[in-house]
Amino acid sequence: MDRKLRGISAVILIIGGLTLLSVENQVSILNEIKFTGKLAVATRNSPTTYYEGSEGSSGFEYDLVKRFADELGVELEITIPQSLDRIISMVTNNEIHFAAAGLTVTDARKQIMRFTSPYQHVTQQLIYRTRTGLARPRKITDLFGREIEVVADSSHAERLKTLKEKYPELDWEENTDLNSEELLDLVSENMLDHTIADSNEIAINRRFYPELRIAFNISPKEPIAWAFPKSNDNSLFNAATLFIDNMRRNGEIERILERYYGHVMNFDYVGTRTYKNHINRRLPSYREQFEKAGKENGIDWRLLAAMAYQESHWNPRARSPTGVRGLMMLTQNTAKLMKIENRLDPAQSIDGGSRYIKRMIEKIPEQIKEPDRTWMAMASYNVGYGHLEDARVITQIRGGNPDSWNDVKENLPLLTRKKWYKNTKHGYARGWEPVRYVENIRSYYDLLVWHTEGGEGERKIEPKAVVIDSPVL
């Protein structure tokens, strides 16, 4: 080979080597995230997605995406844009890695973004308020001429545009300033005829606005998923999709959903209205005692108040057929143990009940973490620690997690069945009672937090985030 050919071959080899080196040095999005240690995610500030609770960051979307970040071994950086449209633009413009914002997967959105496997399904529901001059709408044509407002660029707006093709007389306004929860507030205040909300949003918020009603569903079930930019780099998208699929298969998604929605599904309109009335009329007489007891025992005073409401509806002279008495409905044995002389004295009752529930929390095995620890302590307060332990044993026998309240509460009712209780240490118990007891207290607590943090009390159009997490302990 002559000198000229050797020179050309050398150049080709160098160019080829540089090209190969360049390809090898291309860093995938996933590897870049692991190198920088940062995962940038956009979400919404709402009870169904992300909010700052009493123990810090909370919300279904937050819990899910935080687990993904932990699995990657990186720090989660949350961004909360001012509007839904801004969230979508941040995704399409590659300003973030993805959005975990409770986004419904729609045909229009799939044109500009790509979605992971769904982790939740919701239905769009038309919302109205009772006790107005407007009759309940039962079909789309009943909405002609009525005021409807939805969040701009939302799946609700997309659905209405689809319906308008069949019903040209259907009209609505798209609001660029308010979110879905704020529009629900306007309907509750009789400042707006109708809005549309996803079924998960209305499930949580109806407790705070008891006059709100579901008129009818305006969509079939729709998937919710994480939204990613369209890209040739599939590394992060594939990892997220695999993560969601695994979480769904191992039941973790259902457990997170249960944590945030399990205690709100059985909505009691009459009971909620009565409770809200009692917050205004009865609670002020005892609030100072609850706050004092909460501070002394390291328990959120609103949790103690919620427990007392479940026990006595804040009636200091309440009495049950079994002889438990007072605001916290203490038994004679409990009162004696807590050195309470007069169960009918509100301050003594609150003091004794608070110290007793703290005692129950401390009795729960150390490996059980919050919020499960508190829920199990409450169940013990209701049914007895021995029966709770029996239920935990049954849970383990049936392949569940005895340290998870969600698993244990599924098995507590089995204490009414001879097949199960005959082999337990403490025997028969009305196991469904502590389940109902705990779930009621969780709902009462949510309502009280909402009320004390600027909900109905101040009539703000921008409601505070709802705490659906464990109390401060």
Active site residues: 311
Distance CA 330, CA 439 (A): 20
Find out whether 140 and 213 touch, Cβ atoms under 8 Å: no
SS3 content of the chain, % helix, strand, coil (to 5): 50, 15, 35
- Measure the CA–CA gap between 65 and 58, rounded to whole angstroms: 11
Instruction: Evaluate whether 352 touches 341 at the Cβ level (below 8 Å).
Output: no
Q: Are 470 and 358 in contact (CB under 8 A)?
A: no
Closest CA to 434 of 418, 452, 416: 416
d(CA 346, CA 308): 10
Find where tokens 């009940």 sit. 353
Residue whose token pair is 């190969």: 20
Number of H helices, E strands in the chain: 20, 14
- Give the list of residues 6+ apart from residue 25 with CB closer than 8 angstroms, or none: none
Q: Which residues contact 417 (CB under 8 A, 6 or more apart)?
A: none
Sheet harboring 212-217: ordered strands across? 195-198, 124-129, 212-217
Three-state secondary structure readout of 352-418: HHHHHHHHHHHHCCCCCCCCHHHHHHHHHHHHCHHHHHHHHHHHHHCCCCCCCHHHHHHHHHHHHCH
